[in-house]
Amino acid sequence: MTPDLTFRAGLKDVLPTVFGYIGVGLAFGIVANTSHLSLLMVAGLSFIVYAGSAQFIITSMLVAHDPLSAILLSTFLVNSRMILMSTSLAQAFRHESLTKNLLIGSLVTDETFALAMNKQNKTNGRLSFAWQSAANVVAYLVWGLATIVGAILGSFITNPAQFGFDFALTAMFIGLVYLQLISDKHLGLTRQLLVMAFVALAYYVSLRFLNSNFALLTATVLGCFFGMELKKCH
């Protein structure tokens, strides 16, 4: 990864992440197909909802015949972390128009956010609309197409769990955490591990009082404050 912030650089930088989208996208398509979702519904979830973890949850809730209100609430809670990510990412685009910020925010994902954070380590905190748009659009299109292909392949696989497809999303997040740990020299490995340990502890404690989605959001916010205070101490 270089400090170049052109559209072409964005296409190049996002390529390693694309393989993760393909793997998880295929897994979702296969799981959705075996859950009896139509190809049109799979495409709709991928191109409209566009949220990997939420799409898995929506699929399972549809199979369980949960009410629409519960599905909407669960989707919002699972994706509420994007509010924090978009707020953080927006600091690099304060000079851009509201329209451009909305375009970036509507397509940002955990993966493209992590990619942007890694890019800032190479550019002294700078990002460009062209670079971010290239990463976002490629990820969006690859994800959608991968889920459709997965849904088609799902016709030939009766038990996706047998091949570990239900673990694909977890594996991708582990990879993203590893990349963040080794690439961010500014924060340092020790500080990042301390924040991770604090978030894990906060999540564990929060689970005693809140459901898993609210507990995750609470632990994330507390982790942000803990990280800020830890940074002041160094």
Flag whether pLDDT at 185 surpasses 70: no
- pLDDT in the model for residue 164: 64
- What pLDDT is stored for residue 161 in this prediction? 63
Instruction: For residue 39, give every residue at least 6 positions away whose Cβ sits within 8 Å of its Cβ, in sequence order, or none.
Output: 148, 151, 152
Residue 180 has pLDDT above 80, yes or no: no
pLDDT given for residue 172 in this prediction: 61
The per-residue pLDDT for range 191-210, each reduced to its tens digit, is 888 888 998 999 899 888 88
pLDDT at residue 173 greater than cutoff 90: no
**pLDDT at res. 201:** 93
Domain-wise residue ranges, the chain: 7-184, 187-234
Is pLDDT larger for residue 101 or for residue 231? 101
Query: Which residues, 6+ apart, have CB-to-CB distance to 40 below 8 Å?
Result: none
pLDDT of residue 186: 67
Task: Kindly calculate the radius of gyration of the chain based on its CA atoms and give it in whole angstroms.
Answer: 18
- On the 0-12 / 13-18 / 19+ scale of CB atoms within 10 A, 187 is middle
Better pLDDT: 204 or 84: 204
Output the pLDDT for position 65: 85
Q: Please give the pLDDT value at position 28.
A: 87
Report pLDDT digits (tens) over 88-136: 888 899 989 999 999 998 899 888 998 898 888 888 888 999 999 999 9
Over the chain, what HEC string results? CCCCCCHHHHHHHHHHHHHHHHHHHHHHHHHHHHCCCCHHHHHHHHHHHCCHHHHHHHHHHHHCCCCHHHHHHHHHHHHCHHHHHHHHHHHHHCCCCHHHHHHHHHHCCHHHHHHHHHHHHHHCCCCCHHHHHHHHHHHHHHHHHHHHHHHHHHHHCCCHHHHCHHHHHHHHHHHHHHHHHHHCCCCCHHHHHHHHHHHHHHHHHHCCCCCHHHHHHHHHHHHHHHHHHHHHHC
Q: What average pLDDT score do residues 34-47 get?
A: 91
Residue 176 scores a pLDDT above 70: no
Short-list 66, 46, 64, 43, CA closest to 55: 46
CA 170 – CA 176 distance, rounded (Å): 10
